[in-house]
Amino acid sequence: MNSNAIYTQRRAQLAAKIGPNSVAIIPTAPEQQRNRDSDFPYRPDSYFYYLCGFTEPRAWLVISGDGQTTLFCQPKDLEREIWDGYRLGPEAAPGQLAVNAAFSVTELDAKLPALLDGREAVWFPFATHKGLETRLDGWLGSLRGRVRYGSLCPQTQRDLCGVLDEMRLVKDPHEQAIMRRAGQISAAAHIRAMQCSVHMLQADQELREYHLEAELLHEFRRHGSQFPAYGSIVAAGANACVLHYRADRGLIRNGELVLIDAACELDGYASDITRTFPANGRFTGPQRTLYELVLAAQEAAIAATRAGARFTDPHDAAVKVLAQGMLDVGLLDKNKVGSLQDVIEKRAYFPFYMHRTGHWIGMDVHDCGDYTEPSEIGQVSSRKDALTGDTIKDRPARILQPGMALTIEPGIYVRPADAVPEQFHHIGIRIEDDAIVTATGCELITRDVPVDVAGIEALMRA
Protein backbone atom coordinates (compact mmCIF):
# COMPACT_ATOMS: atom_id res chain seq x y z
CA MET A 1 0.00 0.00 0.00
CA ASN A 2 1.42 3.42 -0.84
CA SER A 3 1.48 5.95 1.95
CA ASN A 4 -1.42 8.03 0.57
CA ALA A 5 -3.59 4.92 0.63
CA ILE A 6 -2.60 4.36 4.26
CA TYR A 7 -3.47 7.91 5.29
CA THR A 8 -6.75 7.81 3.36
CA GLN A 9 -7.65 4.59 5.10
CA ARG A 10 -6.85 6.08 8.52
CA ARG A 11 -9.01 9.12 7.81
CA ALA A 12 -11.85 6.86 6.70
CA GLN A 13 -11.49 4.88 9.93
CA LEU A 14 -11.56 8.07 11.94
CA ALA A 15 -14.65 9.28 10.07
CA ALA A 16 -16.42 6.01 10.78
CA LYS A 17 -15.61 6.33 14.48
CA ILE A 18 -16.90 9.89 14.90
CA GLY A 19 -20.03 9.23 12.82
CA PRO A 20 -21.55 10.87 9.74
CA ASN A 21 -22.95 13.92 11.55
CA SER A 22 -19.62 14.98 13.00
CA VAL A 23 -16.59 16.92 11.90
CA ALA A 24 -13.02 16.70 13.20
CA ILE A 25 -10.43 19.49 13.25
CA ILE A 26 -6.74 18.66 13.59
CA PRO A 27 -4.07 21.36 13.42
CA THR A 28 -0.41 20.52 13.02
CA ALA A 29 2.18 21.72 15.54
CA PRO A 30 3.19 25.39 15.73
CA GLU A 31 6.72 26.47 14.96
CA GLN A 32 8.65 27.14 18.16
CA GLN A 33 11.05 30.00 18.55
CA ARG A 34 14.37 29.04 20.13
CA ASN A 35 15.80 32.51 20.41
CA ARG A 36 15.47 35.69 18.36
CA ASP A 37 15.58 34.66 14.68
CA SER A 38 16.13 30.93 15.27
CA ASP A 39 13.41 28.32 15.59
CA PHE A 40 13.66 24.84 17.07
CA PRO A 41 13.81 22.23 14.29
CA TYR A 42 10.25 21.84 13.09
CA ARG A 43 8.36 18.65 13.83
CA PRO A 44 4.72 18.18 12.79
CA ASP A 45 2.04 17.21 15.29
CA SER A 46 1.84 13.42 15.71
CA TYR A 47 -1.96 13.19 15.24
CA PHE A 48 -1.85 15.41 12.17
CA TYR A 49 1.04 13.51 10.62
CA TYR A 50 -0.64 10.17 11.37
CA LEU A 51 -3.62 11.25 9.28
CA CYS A 52 -1.92 12.75 6.22
CA GLY A 53 1.88 12.50 6.36
CA PHE A 54 2.25 16.22 5.55
CA THR A 55 5.24 17.87 7.18
CA GLU A 56 4.81 21.61 6.52
CA PRO A 57 3.90 23.90 9.40
CA ARG A 58 0.74 26.07 9.49
CA ALA A 59 -1.57 23.36 8.24
CA TRP A 60 -4.96 22.04 9.37
CA LEU A 61 -7.05 19.01 8.54
CA VAL A 62 -10.83 19.09 8.61
CA ILE A 63 -12.34 15.62 8.30
CA SER A 64 -16.08 15.30 8.05
CA GLY A 65 -17.95 12.23 9.24
CA ASP A 66 -18.70 11.22 5.65
CA GLY A 67 -14.96 10.89 5.07
CA GLN A 68 -14.35 14.11 3.10
CA THR A 69 -11.02 15.71 3.99
CA THR A 70 -10.14 19.37 3.56
CA LEU A 71 -6.56 20.53 4.04
CA PHE A 72 -5.59 24.10 4.83
CA CYS A 73 -1.92 24.76 4.09
CA GLN A 74 0.54 27.55 3.39
CA PRO A 75 -0.15 29.26 0.06
CA LYS A 76 2.52 29.33 -2.63
CA ASP A 77 4.59 32.48 -2.15
CA LEU A 78 7.68 32.98 -4.29
CA GLU A 79 9.37 35.37 -1.89
CA ARG A 80 8.78 33.22 1.22
CA GLU A 81 9.86 30.12 -0.69
CA ILE A 82 13.15 31.84 -1.64
CA TRP A 83 13.83 32.37 2.07
CA ASP A 84 12.23 29.35 3.76
CA GLY A 85 11.95 26.70 1.07
CA TYR A 86 9.42 24.94 -1.07
CA ARG A 87 5.73 24.93 -0.19
CA LEU A 88 3.32 22.38 -1.63
CA GLY A 89 0.46 24.87 -1.83
CA PRO A 90 -3.29 24.20 -1.96
CA GLU A 91 -3.46 23.76 -5.75
CA ALA A 92 -1.12 20.75 -5.74
CA ALA A 93 -2.20 19.32 -2.37
CA PRO A 94 -5.22 17.21 -3.46
CA GLY A 95 -3.13 15.44 -6.10
CA GLN A 96 -0.11 14.94 -3.84
CA LEU A 97 -1.83 14.04 -0.60
CA ALA A 98 -5.11 12.49 -1.81
CA VAL A 99 -7.27 14.95 0.15
CA ASN A 100 -10.62 16.00 -1.31
CA ALA A 101 -10.03 19.75 -1.21
CA ALA A 102 -7.34 22.18 -0.13
CA PHE A 103 -7.30 25.90 0.61
CA SER A 104 -4.81 28.45 1.79
CA VAL A 105 -4.53 28.59 5.57
CA THR A 106 -5.29 32.31 5.24
CA GLU A 107 -8.86 31.24 4.39
CA LEU A 108 -9.31 29.17 7.56
CA ASP A 109 -11.52 31.69 9.39
CA ALA A 110 -13.61 32.31 6.27
CA LYS A 111 -14.17 28.62 5.45
CA LEU A 112 -14.45 26.89 8.80
CA PRO A 113 -17.95 28.07 9.77
CA ALA A 114 -19.40 26.53 6.62
CA LEU A 115 -17.57 23.24 7.29
CA LEU A 116 -19.09 23.16 10.79
CA ASP A 117 -22.58 24.24 9.73
CA GLY A 118 -25.24 21.59 10.30
CA ARG A 119 -22.96 19.12 12.11
CA GLU A 120 -24.11 17.66 15.40
CA ALA A 121 -20.66 17.41 16.99
CA VAL A 122 -17.25 18.93 16.47
CA TRP A 123 -14.26 16.84 17.52
CA PHE A 124 -10.79 18.20 18.17
CA PRO A 125 -7.82 17.23 20.35
CA PHE A 126 -8.48 18.73 23.80
CA ALA A 127 -5.74 20.53 25.71
CA THR A 128 -3.00 19.94 23.16
CA HIS A 129 -2.96 23.05 20.95
CA LYS A 130 -2.75 26.47 22.58
CA GLY A 131 -5.46 28.78 21.29
CA LEU A 132 -7.44 26.10 19.42
CA GLU A 133 -10.51 26.44 21.66
CA THR A 134 -10.50 30.21 21.13
CA ARG A 135 -10.34 29.79 17.36
CA LEU A 136 -13.18 27.29 17.50
CA ASP A 137 -15.24 29.63 19.72
CA GLY A 138 -14.85 32.26 17.02
CA TRP A 139 -16.06 29.93 14.23
CA LEU A 140 -18.98 28.68 16.32
CA GLY A 141 -19.81 32.29 17.28
CA SER A 142 -20.03 33.32 13.66
CA LEU A 143 -22.32 30.35 12.95
CA ARG A 144 -24.57 31.31 15.88
CA GLY A 145 -24.75 34.81 14.46
CA ARG A 146 -26.29 33.33 11.33
CA VAL A 147 -28.93 31.04 12.84
CA ARG A 148 -31.69 33.39 11.65
CA TYR A 149 -30.46 32.78 8.12
CA GLY A 150 -30.67 29.02 8.57
CA SER A 151 -27.25 28.10 9.98
CA LEU A 152 -27.08 25.21 12.47
CA CYS A 153 -24.38 25.31 15.11
CA PRO A 154 -22.91 22.01 16.47
CA GLN A 155 -24.28 21.30 19.95
CA THR A 156 -21.46 19.08 21.14
CA GLN A 157 -17.70 19.36 21.43
CA ARG A 158 -15.82 16.11 21.85
CA ASP A 159 -12.21 15.15 22.53
CA LEU A 160 -10.59 13.56 19.49
CA CYS A 161 -7.55 12.34 21.46
CA GLY A 162 -9.24 9.22 22.79
CA VAL A 163 -10.27 8.04 19.33
CA LEU A 164 -6.89 8.73 17.74
CA ASP A 165 -4.99 7.31 20.73
CA GLU A 166 -6.81 4.00 20.35
CA MET A 167 -6.04 3.93 16.62
CA ARG A 168 -2.37 4.75 17.19
CA LEU A 169 -1.96 2.21 19.98
CA VAL A 170 -2.00 -0.76 17.59
CA LYS A 171 0.72 -0.30 14.99
CA ASP A 172 -0.09 -1.33 11.43
CA PRO A 173 2.51 -3.07 9.19
CA HIS A 174 3.61 0.28 7.68
CA GLU A 175 4.31 1.69 11.15
CA GLN A 176 6.01 -1.49 12.32
CA ALA A 177 8.36 -1.40 9.34
CA ILE A 178 9.45 2.17 10.15
CA MET A 179 9.87 1.31 13.82
CA ARG A 180 12.05 -1.69 12.96
CA ARG A 181 14.29 0.52 10.84
CA ALA A 182 14.48 3.17 13.58
CA GLY A 183 15.45 0.39 16.01
CA GLN A 184 18.22 -0.82 13.69
CA ILE A 185 19.68 2.66 13.29
CA SER A 186 19.62 3.28 17.03
CA ALA A 187 21.23 -0.10 17.71
CA ALA A 188 24.03 0.75 15.26
CA ALA A 189 24.53 4.05 17.11
CA HIS A 190 24.94 2.25 20.44
CA ILE A 191 27.51 -0.08 18.89
CA ARG A 192 29.39 2.92 17.55
CA ALA A 193 29.40 4.62 20.97
CA MET A 194 30.65 1.46 22.73
CA GLN A 195 33.47 1.09 20.22
CA CYS A 196 34.41 4.75 20.48
CA SER A 197 34.56 4.49 24.27
CA VAL A 198 37.02 1.62 24.32
CA HIS A 199 39.13 3.04 21.48
CA MET A 200 39.54 6.43 23.12
CA LEU A 201 40.41 4.93 26.50
CA GLN A 202 42.91 2.55 24.92
CA ALA A 203 44.51 5.48 23.12
CA ASP A 204 44.72 7.28 26.47
CA GLN A 205 42.53 10.10 25.18
CA GLU A 206 40.36 12.20 27.43
CA LEU A 207 36.86 10.76 27.08
CA ARG A 208 33.80 12.80 27.95
CA GLU A 209 30.09 12.08 27.75
CA TYR A 210 29.67 14.42 24.79
CA HIS A 211 32.19 12.42 22.75
CA LEU A 212 29.85 9.45 22.86
CA GLU A 213 26.80 11.63 22.26
CA ALA A 214 28.48 12.90 19.08
CA GLU A 215 28.91 9.31 17.85
CA LEU A 216 25.22 8.60 18.48
CA LEU A 217 24.02 11.69 16.64
CA HIS A 218 26.37 11.01 13.74
CA GLU A 219 25.01 7.50 13.30
CA PHE A 220 21.35 8.58 13.59
CA ARG A 221 21.69 11.28 11.00
CA ARG A 222 23.83 9.42 8.51
CA HIS A 223 21.04 6.86 8.17
CA GLY A 224 18.43 9.53 7.49
CA SER A 225 16.93 9.95 10.95
CA GLN A 226 15.52 13.46 11.28
CA PHE A 227 16.01 13.88 15.05
CA PRO A 228 16.92 12.06 18.23
CA ALA A 229 13.60 10.74 19.60
CA TYR A 230 14.32 12.45 22.97
CA GLY A 231 17.21 14.12 24.75
CA SER A 232 20.10 11.65 24.71
CA ILE A 233 21.29 10.40 28.08
CA VAL A 234 24.99 9.59 28.26
CA ALA A 235 25.81 9.11 31.92
CA ALA A 236 29.26 8.20 33.20
CA GLY A 237 29.62 6.37 36.51
CA ALA A 238 27.51 7.89 39.29
CA ASN A 239 25.62 10.09 36.82
CA ALA A 240 23.74 6.95 35.76
CA CYS A 241 21.84 7.10 39.06
CA VAL A 242 20.20 10.37 37.93
CA LEU A 243 17.25 9.08 35.90
CA HIS A 244 16.84 12.13 33.68
CA TYR A 245 20.53 12.99 33.37
CA ARG A 246 21.41 14.37 29.92
CA ALA A 247 24.58 13.94 27.93
CA ASP A 248 26.90 16.53 29.43
CA ARG A 249 30.65 17.02 29.80
CA GLY A 250 31.28 14.43 32.53
CA LEU A 251 34.62 12.64 32.33
CA ILE A 252 34.35 8.92 31.57
CA ARG A 253 36.97 7.03 33.57
CA ASN A 254 38.56 3.67 32.99
CA GLY A 255 36.70 1.15 35.17
CA GLU A 256 33.39 3.02 35.18
CA LEU A 257 30.12 2.01 33.61
CA VAL A 258 28.46 4.24 31.02
CA LEU A 259 24.68 4.29 30.73
CA ILE A 260 23.41 5.44 27.33
CA ASP A 261 19.68 5.94 26.85
CA ALA A 262 19.44 7.37 23.35
CA ALA A 263 17.66 6.55 20.12
CA CYS A 264 16.54 8.12 16.92
CA GLU A 265 13.24 9.23 15.45
CA LEU A 266 12.71 8.11 11.87
CA ASP A 267 9.89 9.42 9.66
CA GLY A 268 7.79 10.32 12.69
CA TYR A 269 8.46 7.18 14.75
CA ALA A 270 10.57 6.92 17.89
CA SER A 271 12.87 4.21 19.10
CA ASP A 272 14.16 4.02 22.68
CA ILE A 273 17.23 2.00 23.65
CA THR A 274 19.32 1.87 26.81
CA ARG A 275 22.56 0.01 27.16
CA THR A 276 24.96 0.09 30.07
CA PHE A 277 28.52 -1.00 29.40
CA PRO A 278 31.99 -0.79 30.93
CA ALA A 279 33.83 2.18 29.42
CA ASN A 280 36.94 0.05 28.90
CA GLY A 281 35.10 -3.02 27.64
CA ARG A 282 35.46 -5.25 30.75
CA PHE A 283 32.89 -5.50 33.54
CA THR A 284 34.24 -5.60 37.11
CA GLY A 285 32.82 -8.27 39.44
CA PRO A 286 30.25 -6.06 41.19
CA GLN A 287 29.24 -4.38 37.92
CA ARG A 288 28.71 -7.76 36.35
CA THR A 289 26.68 -9.05 39.31
CA LEU A 290 24.20 -6.18 39.08
CA TYR A 291 24.21 -6.17 35.28
CA GLU A 292 23.26 -9.83 35.13
CA LEU A 293 20.52 -9.23 37.65
CA VAL A 294 18.99 -6.43 35.54
CA LEU A 295 19.32 -8.57 32.42
CA ALA A 296 17.56 -11.49 34.13
CA ALA A 297 14.78 -9.06 35.13
CA GLN A 298 14.51 -7.90 31.53
CA GLU A 299 14.36 -11.49 30.29
CA ALA A 300 11.55 -12.24 32.73
CA ALA A 301 9.69 -9.14 31.56
CA ILE A 302 10.17 -10.11 27.90
CA ALA A 303 8.84 -13.60 28.61
CA ALA A 304 5.72 -11.98 30.15
CA THR A 305 5.06 -9.81 27.08
CA ARG A 306 2.51 -11.42 24.76
CA ALA A 307 -1.01 -10.93 23.49
CA GLY A 308 -3.51 -11.58 26.26
CA ALA A 309 -1.11 -10.59 29.06
CA ARG A 310 -1.67 -7.33 30.98
CA PHE A 311 0.48 -4.25 30.47
CA THR A 312 1.62 -4.63 34.11
CA ASP A 313 2.71 -8.27 33.77
CA PRO A 314 6.22 -7.48 32.44
CA HIS A 315 6.71 -4.97 35.26
CA ASP A 316 5.58 -7.45 37.90
CA ALA A 317 7.86 -10.13 36.43
CA ALA A 318 10.84 -7.75 36.44
CA VAL A 319 10.20 -6.60 40.00
CA LYS A 320 10.08 -10.18 41.23
CA VAL A 321 13.51 -10.95 39.78
CA LEU A 322 15.04 -7.66 40.91
CA ALA A 323 13.68 -7.97 44.44
CA GLN A 324 14.97 -11.54 44.83
CA GLY A 325 18.32 -10.43 43.42
CA MET A 326 18.54 -7.49 45.82
CA LEU A 327 18.10 -9.95 48.72
CA ASP A 328 20.65 -12.36 47.22
CA VAL A 329 23.40 -9.81 46.64
CA GLY A 330 22.85 -7.96 49.91
CA LEU A 331 21.38 -4.69 48.64
CA LEU A 332 18.45 -5.57 50.90
CA ASP A 333 18.90 -7.24 54.28
CA LYS A 334 16.49 -10.16 54.81
CA ASN A 335 16.57 -9.54 58.55
CA LYS A 336 15.24 -6.04 58.01
CA VAL A 337 12.93 -6.38 55.03
CA GLY A 338 11.74 -9.98 55.34
CA SER A 339 10.85 -12.35 52.56
CA LEU A 340 10.57 -11.76 48.81
CA GLN A 341 6.84 -11.34 49.22
CA ASP A 342 7.38 -8.70 51.93
CA VAL A 343 9.85 -6.85 49.70
CA ILE A 344 7.31 -6.75 46.88
CA GLU A 345 4.30 -5.89 49.03
CA LYS A 346 6.11 -3.17 50.97
CA ARG A 347 7.94 -1.98 47.85
CA ALA A 348 11.23 -2.24 49.73
CA TYR A 349 13.00 -2.46 46.35
CA PHE A 350 11.92 1.11 45.57
CA PRO A 351 15.14 2.92 46.65
CA PHE A 352 16.97 0.94 43.93
CA TYR A 353 14.21 0.61 41.33
CA MET A 354 11.82 3.53 41.26
CA HIS A 355 10.40 3.57 37.73
CA ARG A 356 8.05 1.42 35.71
CA THR A 357 9.36 -1.28 33.39
CA GLY A 358 7.92 0.21 30.21
CA HIS A 359 5.66 2.52 28.29
CA TRP A 360 3.93 2.54 24.92
CA ILE A 361 6.19 3.64 22.10
CA GLY A 362 5.26 4.87 18.63
CA MET A 363 5.16 8.33 17.10
CA ASP A 364 5.85 9.73 20.55
CA VAL A 365 8.53 8.05 22.62
CA HIS A 366 6.09 7.89 25.53
CA ASP A 367 3.28 7.13 23.14
CA CYS A 368 -0.43 7.68 23.54
CA GLY A 369 -2.92 5.01 24.52
CA ASP A 370 -4.78 4.05 27.68
CA TYR A 371 -2.90 1.92 30.17
CA THR A 372 -6.16 0.65 31.61
CA GLU A 373 -8.36 -1.89 29.87
CA PRO A 374 -11.27 -0.05 28.24
CA SER A 375 -13.57 -3.08 28.44
CA GLU A 376 -13.12 -3.20 32.24
CA ILE A 377 -13.12 0.49 33.04
CA GLY A 378 -15.84 0.15 35.70
CA GLN A 379 -13.87 -2.32 37.82
CA VAL A 380 -12.23 0.05 40.29
CA SER A 381 -10.60 -1.10 43.51
CA SER A 382 -8.80 0.91 46.19
CA ARG A 383 -5.67 0.11 48.11
CA LYS A 384 -3.24 1.91 50.39
CA ASP A 385 0.21 2.48 48.95
CA ALA A 386 2.75 0.68 51.12
CA LEU A 387 5.30 3.49 51.03
CA THR A 388 3.25 6.69 51.04
CA GLY A 389 0.02 5.54 52.71
CA ASP A 390 -1.92 7.28 49.90
CA THR A 391 -5.11 5.68 48.68
CA ILE A 392 -4.56 4.46 45.13
CA LYS A 393 -7.35 3.63 42.72
CA ASP A 394 -6.57 0.53 40.72
CA ARG A 395 -8.21 -0.31 37.44
CA PRO A 396 -7.44 -3.48 35.46
CA ALA A 397 -4.38 -2.91 33.29
CA ARG A 398 -4.57 -2.96 29.53
CA ILE A 399 -4.68 -6.36 27.86
CA LEU A 400 -1.90 -6.54 25.28
CA GLN A 401 -2.85 -7.12 21.64
CA PRO A 402 -0.70 -7.97 18.61
CA GLY A 403 0.72 -4.77 17.11
CA MET A 404 0.96 -2.82 20.36
CA ALA A 405 4.51 -1.57 20.93
CA LEU A 406 6.14 -1.01 24.28
CA THR A 407 9.55 -0.67 25.89
CA ILE A 408 10.97 -3.16 28.38
CA GLU A 409 13.43 -1.31 30.58
CA PRO A 410 14.25 -2.53 34.07
CA GLY A 411 17.15 -1.01 36.00
CA ILE A 412 18.99 -0.75 39.28
CA TYR A 413 20.38 2.49 40.69
CA VAL A 414 22.54 2.33 43.81
CA ARG A 415 23.13 5.54 45.69
CA PRO A 416 25.59 5.26 48.56
CA ALA A 417 24.11 4.57 52.00
CA ASP A 418 25.47 2.96 55.18
CA ALA A 419 23.43 -0.21 54.80
CA VAL A 420 24.41 -0.68 51.17
CA PRO A 421 27.54 -2.76 50.34
CA GLU A 422 30.20 -0.34 49.19
CA GLN A 423 31.16 -2.37 46.13
CA PHE A 424 27.81 -1.42 44.57
CA HIS A 425 27.89 2.30 45.38
CA HIS A 426 27.23 4.63 42.45
CA ILE A 427 26.39 1.83 40.02
CA GLY A 428 23.44 2.67 37.79
CA ILE A 429 22.25 0.16 35.21
CA ARG A 430 19.30 0.13 32.84
CA ILE A 431 18.68 -2.15 29.89
CA GLU A 432 15.96 -1.09 27.48
CA ASP A 433 14.59 -2.63 24.30
CA ASP A 434 11.50 -1.98 22.19
CA ALA A 435 9.01 -4.76 21.62
CA ILE A 436 6.09 -5.31 19.27
CA VAL A 437 3.49 -7.62 20.77
CA THR A 438 2.71 -10.75 18.77
CA ALA A 439 0.13 -13.48 19.30
CA THR A 440 2.62 -15.73 21.04
CA GLY A 441 5.18 -13.34 22.51
CA CYS A 442 6.92 -10.24 21.31
CA GLU A 443 9.37 -9.18 18.65
CA LEU A 444 12.34 -7.22 19.99
CA ILE A 445 13.21 -4.64 17.35
CA THR A 446 16.30 -3.12 18.99
CA ARG A 447 18.45 -6.17 19.55
CA ASP A 448 21.05 -5.51 16.85
CA VAL A 449 23.18 -4.16 19.68
CA PRO A 450 24.43 -6.86 22.07
CA VAL A 451 22.86 -7.00 25.49
CA ASP A 452 24.54 -9.86 27.37
CA VAL A 453 27.89 -9.51 29.15
CA ALA A 454 29.77 -11.77 26.76
CA GLY A 455 28.30 -10.04 23.70
CA ILE A 456 29.17 -6.56 24.94
CA GLU A 457 32.71 -7.56 25.97
CA ALA A 458 33.28 -9.31 22.63
CA LEU A 459 32.05 -6.30 20.68
CA MET A 460 34.31 -3.97 22.63
CA ARG A 461 37.31 -6.27 22.21
CA ALA A 462 36.82 -6.49 18.45
Does position 269 interact with ligand GLY (CB under 6 A)? The reply is no
Taking CB under 5 A as the criterion, which residues in 383-442 touch Mn ion? 407, 432
Q: How far is the CB of 155 from ligand GLY (least distance, A)?
A: 41
Does position 272 interact with Mn ion (CB under 5 A)? The reply is yes
Partner residues linked to 260 by β-bridges: 234, 275
d(C-alpha 351, C-alpha 412), whole Å: 9
Does position 213 interact with ligand GLY (CB under 6 A)? The reply is no
Q: Which stretch binds Mn ion (CB under 5 A): 18-26, 108-116, 257-265, 275-283?
A: 257-265
Does position 364 interact with Mn ion (CB under 5 A)? The reply is no
Does position 367 interact with ligand GLY (CB under 6 A)? The reply is no
Length of the chain, in residues: 462
Residue 175 binds which of ligand GLY, Mn ion, none (CB < 5-8 A, kind-dependent):
none
Q: Which is nearer to ligand GLY, 215 or 261 (CB)?
A: 261
Active site positions, annotated: 37, 244, 261, 272, 355, 359, 366, 409, 413, 430, 432
Q: How far is the CB of 18 from Mn ion (least distance, A)?
A: 32
Taking CB under 6 A as the criterion, which residues in 138-167 touch ligand GLY? none
Taking CB under 6 A as the criterion, which residues in 387-416 touch ligand GLY? 409
Does position 272 interact with ligand GLY (CB under 6 A)? The reply is yes
Does position 261 interact with ligand GLY (CB under 6 A)? The reply is yes
> Cβ atoms within 10 A of the Cβ of 359, count?
18
Partner residues linked to 104 by β-bridges: 73
Q: Which is nearer to Mn ion, 69 or 357 (CB)?
A: 357
- CA-to-CA dists, residue 277 to 237, 335, 457, 461, angstroms: 10, 33, 9, 13
Residue 230 binds which of Mn ion, ligand GLY, none (CB < 5-8 A, kind-dependent):
ligand GLY
Range list of H helices, 103-154: 108-116, 132-144
Q: How far is the CB of 272 from ligand GLY (least distance, A)?
A: 5
Concatenate the DSSP letters of all residues of 158-212 into one string: EESHHHHHHHHHBPPHHHHHHHHHHHHHHHHHHHHHHHHHHHHHHTT---BHHHH
Q: Angle 269-291-447 (CA atoms, 0-180°, nearest 5)? A: 30
Q: How far is the CB of 230 from Mn ion (least distance, A)?
A: 7
d(C-alpha 269, C-alpha 185), whole Å: 12
145: Cβ–Cβ under 8 A, 6 or more apart, which residues? none
Q: How far is the CB of 365 from ligand GLY (least distance, A)?
A: 6
Q: Which is nearer to Mn ion, 175 or 432 (CB)?
A: 432
3-state secondary structure of 247: coil
Does position 433 interact with ligand GLY (CB under 6 A)? The reply is no
Beta strands in 281-400 (DSSP E): 381-384, 391-394
Residue 215 binds which of Mn ion, ligand GLY, none (CB < 5-8 A, kind-dependent):
none
Does position 230 interact with ligand GLY (CB under 6 A)? The reply is yes
3-state secondary structure of 134: helix
Among 152, 159, 110, CA closest to 135: 110
Q: How far is the CB of 431 from ligand GLY (least distance, A)?
A: 11
The site that binds Mn ion (CB under 5 A) totals a number of residues, namely 4
Q: Which is nearer to ligand GLY, 26 or 233 (CB)?
A: 233
Does position 261 interact with Mn ion (CB under 5 A)? The reply is yes
Q: How far is the CB of 384 from Mn ion (least distance, A)?
A: 29
Order the strands of the 233-236 sheet from edge to edge. Answer: 233-236, 257-261, 274-278
Taking CB under 6 A as the criterion, which residues in 323-362 touch ligand GLY? 359
3-state secondary structure of 141: helix
Q: How far is the CB of 268 from ligand GLY (least distance, A)?
A: 17
Q: Which is nearer to ligand GLY, 242 or 337 (CB)?
A: 242
Q: Which is nearer to ligand GLY, 52 or 169 (CB)?
A: 169
d(C-alpha 298, C-alpha 353), whole Å: 13
d(C-alpha 275, C-alpha 211), whole Å: 16
Q: What are phi and psi of 21, to 5 degrees?
A: -95, 20
Q: Where along the sequence are the contacts to ligand GLY (CB under 6 A)? A: 230, 261, 272, 359, 365, 409, 432
Question: Binding residues for Mn ion, per CB under 5 A?
Answer: 261, 272, 407, 432
